[in-house]
Amino acid sequence: MAKVRVERPLVEMEGDEMAQVMWAWVRDRLVLPFVDVGLVRFDLSIGHRARTDDRVTLDAASAARRHGVSLKCSTITPDRTRQRELGLARALPSPNGTLRAALDGVIFREPIICRNVARLVPHWAQPVVIARHAFGEQYRAQELAVPGPGTVRLVFDGADGSESRELYRFDGPGVALALFNIDASIRGFARACLHYGLQRRMPVYFSHKATVLKQYDGRFVDLFAEEFEAFAPAFAEAGLVYAPRLIDDMAAFSVKSTGGYLWACKNYDGDVQADYMAQGYGSPGLMTSVLMSPDGRLVQTETAHGTVRRHYDRWRAGAPVLANPLATIHAWSRALWHRARLDGTPDVAHFAETLERAAADLVDEGVLTPDLAPLAATRRTPVDTAGFIDAVAARLAGALR
């Protein structure tokens, strides 16, 4: 069987623990036997990041910008406990945060829907894509513990003058928090969401609280509206809509709807809603994650779960691995699909779609890992992770003949 040839390489970022083991299994059993693709590899495991003082993450980001499509395995972001456990000189920053900042991207999370996996919200028949603005807000905020009576002010020192506004006059101890965002990032967020909505043929809704945060959220609403002007003809031709919606209304709508739309969220909102949606669709392990630049020309796919340490400890002890690898499979398939989209190679896109369908068909037939088996209406004797990947490889080989 001739391999499908990919014209341009993928940037591969390897990770940590069980996620990296499953990553290698999927790459070596489901991708490389069927696809002739160049891989520009970077080791983002915690040990290698520590040895390079995290320079490797910046090098990986540079390569991702150069080649256009990259994919990333889950990595460890150490807290103080893990820093001591791993013997690190310092608690390295999140490589995801470093890469998102370098690529100026927006995160798109989408559930992997399998008919045989029960959803907590049964009428969510179509996927909902959660778009998360990955800049500013709680993740780059300044917080202050107020020790006692006094006044907290919000101060702007500008080149053409200054402005000071009283935030709150404290009668006793408390806390204060200052958030920020910038027009350039908000505009990029809007463009990325609108590009993605067109690619997936989905209406786009931006959730906000501009009734209360008239200047802060109001700025998001205004800039989304300005950016949409350039997209309006294409949206109309595709029969799609864009609309801003109050987050209260959007949350209620999400519960009642059947899915099939893109929900654009501010940074922290997107963090929360992605987890909420993952549970509603069945499992956090059944989610895809794509980071895309505002112009749609840079894409990084990710595994949407952590490093699966519990399963890693079992695997090192010699026990079989029982985690489902669907998110890892989709990280590879979606990277190949975007490579095909950018390069104009439909045979590569066909392979990516066939790989996803082979995995989903097995789940629907009851071939499941133990973590998914309790959610399934139809199931055979559960298989371990390696057994599931081997079954996908056999199904894929048959479909490509």
Secondary structure (DSSP) of 118-135: --SSTT--S-EEEEEE-S
**What is the phi/psi pair of residue 148, to 5°?**
-175, -165
Residue 182 marked in a binding site: no
Residue 309 marked in a binding site: yes
Residue 109 marked in a binding site: yes
Residue 77 marked in a binding site: yes
- What integer pLDDT is reported at residue 307 of this predicted model? 86
Residue 115 marked in a binding site: no
Residue 283 marked in a binding site: no
CA-nearest of 179, 194, 199 to 226 is 194
Structural domains in the chain, CATH included, are: 1-109+298-401 (3.40.718.10), 119-136+183-281 (no CATH), 142-178 (no CATH)
> Which runs of E-coded beta strand occur in 147-183?
150-158, 161-170, 174-178
Residue 267 marked in a binding site: no
- What integer pLDDT is reported at residue 382 of this predicted model? 87
Residue 59 marked in a binding site: no
Residue 71 marked in a binding site: no
Residue 324 marked in a binding site: yes
Tokens of 214: 């008239």
In whole angstroms, how far apart are CA 69 and each of 29, 35, 298, 332? Answer: 21, 16, 6, 11
Coil, strand or helix: which one is 36?
strand
CA-nearest of 64, 138, 48 to 98 is 64
User: How much is the pTM?
Assistant: 0.86
Residue 74 marked in a binding site: no
In whole angstroms, how far apart are CA 92 and each of 89, 137, 181? Answer: 9, 21, 24
Residues in the chain, pLDDT under 70:
none
How far apart are alpha carbons 390 and 374 in whole angstroms? 22
Residue 256 marked in a binding site: yes
With tokens 């294409």, the residue in question is 234
